[in-house]
Amino acid sequence: MDTTSLLPPVTEALAEFPKAFHDETEYVGSLGVAWAPGRVNLIGEHTDYNGGLVLPLAVDRVSAFAGRTRADQTVRLWSIHFKTYAQFSVEGLPDTFDEQRAELPGWARYILGVAAELARAGITLKGFDAVVSGDVPLGGGMSSSAALEVAAAHAYALFSNHAFTIGEENATLSPILVAGLCQHAEQIASGVMCGILDQAASCLGQPRKAVLLNCRSLEYRYLPFADPTISIVVVDTGVRRELADSAYNERRQQCEEATKLIRESILQAEPANELAHDIKELCDITPEQFARYKQQLPELLQRRAGYVIAENERVLQVVKLLEAGNIEEAGKILWLGHAGLQNDYEVSCTELDALVDIACNVPGVLGARMMGGGFGGCTINLVRHEAVEALQQAIELQYPERTGRRASIDICRAAAGPGCTFVA
């Protein structure tokens, strides 16, 4: 195979493999690679675990594996970023997950988690040695962990000699099933009760397309996102938060409590309303129902639930605008999304707010908002090509003055999903 067409992290991992693993290990397969992209989310933040709609796209930043199948069931990994080895066994999973997890560095727990979920699904895995690389910013809101998990799933498929396959037709696992498997792997590995947004975006990516995903039904369809005059600019605050140590899980609990209280209020006021029994998550509640019954909630839960229900509607608004080719109006909705995240859902931070405020004052920026779980990470900006340099200059000048930090800027494009192949 001509490896010159491979993404940079893939070629980096390939080059590192003979340096990282040069002992007398017995290999039983060819050299192979697997990769999966990070993502940006245009709109629909914190709606995924509330059964709502999201509108992400995969980007041209990936996590990658390069390695070979072993003759046993041991997995050995070398992380280029962390410059550490990790080792575990796929024998006895998922029962041995907790015991093995405790001995691993944090990054390797996600890879072990994917193996445990595949084993739980009845798939027999083989061991392998691999180098792990990537250029998805870690903790920056572009889903580096999901990219790692989805890449790991494809690595297991490849290095287990296709004991299972991933694809749409006649495959062992569909992409959306892989997304759900990787979502659960992240939950058990990290303790964060994440939704399926990140993993689904990585699994379903297509060039020049965004994905409208219903996180309840898991139905999805693609929307064009290839305006040649618009850039997707991701700006990293440089602030990192461990979501398990933040209020992420607390927000999820608040949403569940708000759902319960509104469902009870509807049933009490409308005992003949059979549909009220079907309210399981916040996004089952219509804006009209919320307006009628929100006073039954404590003020804090009103704001949490109000944000989620309004954000779900914003996704639908952006979809209609993209279908109409009106990306300028779609951009305006991003500003509204950030205001809700900042004031009602309260998952922003000073640095994120500063970046959005700076972007708001640059002509040619159509919209900006914080992206990801919050408390740090990145903003997403829809920017006319001719305004990208002005935005970069404004951030370089104003952001350090306002926060004492420096931000990094990436220009991304909607890219393809994951893959794997043997190269030698």
Residue 304 falls inside a structural domain: no
Question: Which residue shows structure tokens 């979809």?
Answer: 319
Torsion, Cα 323 329 333 336, to 10 degrees, reads -170
Closest CA to 205 of 152, 163, 158, 143: 143
Residue 339 falls inside a structural domain: no
Q: Which tens digit of pLDDT belongs to each residue from 135-155?
A: 998 876 788 999 999 999 999
Pairing of strands 209-214, 53-69: antiparallel
Which segments within 202-334 are labelled E, that is strand?
209-214, 220-224, 230-236
Residue 142 falls inside a structural domain: yes
> What amino acid positions are annotated as catalytic residues?
198
Distances (CA, A) of 230 to 210, 235, 314: 14, 16, 20
Residue 370 falls inside a structural domain: no
**Domain that includes residue 13, residue range:** 3-226
Residue 113 falls inside a structural domain: yes
% residues pLDDT > 90 (the chain) = 82
Contact of 231 with 411, CB cutoff 8 Å: yes
Rounded to whole angstroms, the Cα distance separating 119 from 124 reads 6
Mean pLDDT rounded to a whole number for the chain: 93
Question: Which residue shows structure tokens 């962990």?
Answer: 145
CATH number at residue 213: 3.30.230.10
Would you state the pLDDT for residue 242? 66
Residue 343 falls inside a structural domain: no
Residue 328 falls inside a structural domain: no
What are 143's two structure tokens? 């889903």
Q: Which tens digit of pLDDT belongs to each residue from 37-96?
A: 999 999 999 999 999 999 999 999 999 999 999 999 999 999 999 999 999 999 999 999
- 240: three-class secondary structure by DSSP: coil
Task: Provide the domain count of the chain.
Answer: 1
Per-residue pLDDT of the chain (424 residues; tens, 9 = 90+): 555 578 899 999 999 999 999 888 899 989 999 999 999 999 999 999 999 999 999 999 999 999 999 999 999 999 999 999 999 999 999 999 999 999 999 999 999 999 999 999 999 999 999 999 999 988 767 889 999 999 999 999 999 987 788 887 778 899 999 999 999 999 999 888 888 999 999 999 999 999 999 999 999 999 999 888 999 999 999 988 766 456 888 999 999 999 999 999 999 998 888 888 889 999 999 999 999 999 999 999 999 999 999 999 999 999 999 999 999 999 999 999 999 999 999 999 999 999 999 999 999 999 999 998 888 889 999 999 999 999 999 999 999 999 999 999 999 999 999 999 999 8
- Residue 412 phi, psi dihedral angles, 5° rounding: -115, 165
- 169: three-class secondary structure by DSSP: coil
- Burial (CB < 10 A; 0-12, 13-18, 19+), residue 247, is middle
The residues that bridge with 95 in the sheet, in sequence order, are: none
Residue 315 falls inside a structural domain: no
